[in-house]
A and B are shown apart, each in its own frame.
Chain A
Amino acid sequence: MAMVQDIEIRDSAARAAQAAEELPDIQDERMVLNMGPSHPATHGVLRIVLELDGEIITKADPDIGYLHRGDEKIAENMTYTQFIPYTDRLDYLAPLANNVAYALAVEKLLGIEKDLPPRCQHIRVMCAELARISAHLLGLGAFAMDLGAVTVFLLTFTEREKIYNLAEAISGARFTTSYTRIGGVMRDLPPGWLALCQKFCDEFIPALNEVETLLTRNRIWVDRVRGLAVISKADAIDYGLSGPNLRGSGIEWDLRKNQPYLCYPDLEFDIPTGSVGDCYDRYLVRMEEMRQSVRILQQCIQKIPGGADNQTNEPVNVPDGKVVLPPKQNVMTKMEELIHQFILVTQGMNCPPGEIYFGHENPKGELGFYINSRGGGTPYRMKIRAPSFVNLSIIPKIFPGCLISDTVAILGSLDFVMGECDR
């Protein structure tokens, strides 16, 4: 016969008090807890060494580099065009935006960024905004799932799937798009793509509204994230935060507005900012940014020169045979184009000596490329200013004083990608 035993469970405060009496030696003793590198809430391979006093974090030391692949070294050893696929793998949640950022940086070095045809500019803006929605959806889904709201994850991933389909339609790849080229894009939009994009926009807003009803006024959600990990304006600037994390702290700085590129000056959109700088504000900023991105997408669909089928044959590449590969039929029949093709493929485009920095408003923040050129087809040095790297550097500042269960909420609200952080 099985033995039945009564177990007395007292409330946790009484237990803690008794434990402190019984074990006076552990008073003020610190415990070191290793979080990651393989932890579901660290979204990749971030490792944080936490020093704990009970449940309170007293010190946090992020350990990064588990995904370091030496992208900057690799970039020094190949032509500018060859590096485009590597940019897919920086922020691998928004490869289309990385492609645009990198192409714009090299075009700034070449001095041709003003010559980009309007159709190309609109296509690139749409790519960047689709990538922004996609990255924010994943960040939001994972953030909510870590705090127990799994439904949100399912909803946002349903919408992301549609963005993947759009990316597949334009580039042939769902994930590693490599869609831009220096001086343009790989190819024009396929027929019917704008209608698909419009359909996505129409379906996305109701889905986002549903997510809002699940989270924004949800008592559990608000209790977990409001007032948590407040980053003041001064700290945000001091630590070089960028993107939604900077704007969540109430600083109105968006490179699309403050240093406009592509056709952003012709588009209407607002820059949401937070008022407190806590996790809740960062969440709200991302939600509003997605709505603004849809606004931008819809304006682009209306305004894009050439329209859906490009009946007027608007170009999508700069008309410079020394930068962009010529059409294949011309290579086969014309001498000059054959030479251009040969030089571009073997040596790359001839960039002038000099140095430029170009910062692009990526979903995670400011993705910058510093290119130091000594002429020729390869960079002498290319530094990638990764927003996730910089945003993570504030962890030792904001973690102490938080509870250990808050770490997942803070990490979710910082919204980082290790592929970009470690490069």
Chain B
Amino acid sequence: MTALEQVQKLKTRFGDLISEPAEFRGEITLEIADAENIDEVCRHAKNDLGFDYLVDISSVDDYGEDPRWTLVYHLRGLTHGAELRLKTRVGEEKSELPTVTTVWGTANWHEREIYDMMGIRFRGHPDLRRILMWEGYPYFPLRKDFPLAGKPTDLPGVAFTKPAPLEGGPFVTAPGGKDAIEREPRVRTPED
């Protein structure tokens, strides 16, 4: 059974909630209109369509758009070998959607990472703490409005408290020039 047939089954079950499948480079992507139903769609895909393996969950910050967050779920069926990508969008004010830890155990750490890096919360997650950054870190570093050079934090002795990990390298320009943030040519500021 190909992934497209699986998608048709999913569509008959959920109707308009699921978009028409988009295909790019042989991969099938479905958009789920309402993020509140993501756990239900995932459970159905796992139990009835055999997508038993959650490969990964990613998040994208569509900065300047509304809704701002896109959540990307990569599903795979180990028995039939088909893969499926589910996408759903969440607005910035809400920044919350149901967890899929009830469907796959591996979602636990993936969701913790997304919370840590993007600040999106997962309702019903058993242990939603930061995972890569330390507890109490005030920012969400993978957001597009977080500068590449970092920001100073109020926790001296825990990690960098200076803003510029790029400072002091072999390519430092003359003293008295621009600071490390302005000197960094690839830095993305919120305005652009």
Contacts and interface: CB of A to CB of B under 8 A. Distances in A.
Instruction: Determine if chain A interacts with chain B.
Output: yes
Given A68-B133, A368-B55, A108 B105 contact: no
26 contacts: A64-B132, A65-B130, A65-B133, A65-B134, A73-B146, A77-B186, A108-B25, A238-B106, A240-B104, A240-B106, A251-B78, A354-B24, A355-B72, A356-B27, A357-B55, A357-B74, A357-B85, A370-B74, A372-B60, A380-B60, A385-B56, A389-B109, A392-B109, A393-B106, A397-B105, A423-B132
A383 B85 CA distance: 14
A390 interface: yes
Interface in A56-92: 64-65, 68, 70, 72-74, 76-78
A65 B131 contact: yes
B27 A357 contact: yes
A259 interface: yes
A347 to B, nearest CB: 12
Nearest to A233: B78
A422 interface: yes
B167 interface: no
A381 interface: yes
Given A259-B81, A354-B25, A389-B109, A74 B52 contact: no
A357 B54 CA distance: 13
Nearest to A374: B62
Contacts of B14: none
A305 to B, nearest CB: 26
Contact of A72 (B81, B105, B131, B142): B142
Contact of B142 (A65, A73, A366): A73
Contacts of A392: 109
A354 B5 CA distance: 23
Nearest to A380: B60
Interface of A: 64-65, 68, 70, 72-74, 76-78, 108-109, 111, 235, 237-240, 251, 253, 258-259, 354-357, 359, 366, 368, 370, 372, 380-381, 383, 385, 389-390, 392-394, 397, 422-423
B151 to A, nearest CB: 12
Given A253-B78, A357-B56, 5 more contacts: A73-B142, A235-B105, A238-B104, A240-B55, A389-B113
Nearest to A352: B24
A381 B78 contact: no
Choose among A72, A235, A354, A370 the residue with the greatest number of B CB atoms under 10 Å from its CB. Answer: A370
A109 B25 contact: yes
Nearest to B63: A380
Contacts of A111: 25
Given A258-B81, A356-B27, A240 B54 contact: yes
Contact of B132 (A259, A370, A422): A422
Contacts of A68: 132-133
Nearest to B53: A237
Contacts of B110: 390
A385 B55 contact: yes
A349 B100 CA distance: 37
B188 interface: yes
A70 B159 CA distance: 14
Contacts of B60: 372, 380-381
Interface residues of B, number: 39
B78 A237 contact: yes
B61 interface: yes
Interface class of chain A by DSSP: mixed
B35 to A, nearest CB: 18
B21 interface: no
A355 B71 CA distance: 13
A260 to B, nearest CB: 11
Contacts of B186: 77-78
B25 A390 contact: no
B117 to A, nearest CB: 8
Nearest to A82: B186
Interface in B123-141: 130-134, 141
B58 interface: yes
Contacts of A239: 105-106
A359 B131 contact: no
B108 interface: yes
Given A240-B53, A366-B55, A77 B106 contact: no
B172 to A, nearest CB: 19
B105 A370 contact: no
A73 B186 CA distance: 12
B148 interface: yes
A256 to B, nearest CB: 13
A290 to B, nearest CB: 24
A259 B25 CA distance: 14
Nearest to B113: A389
A197 B17 CA distance: 55
Contacts of A237: 52-53, 78
A357 B85 CA distance: 9
Given A238-B104, A238-B106, A239-B106, A70 B56 contact: no
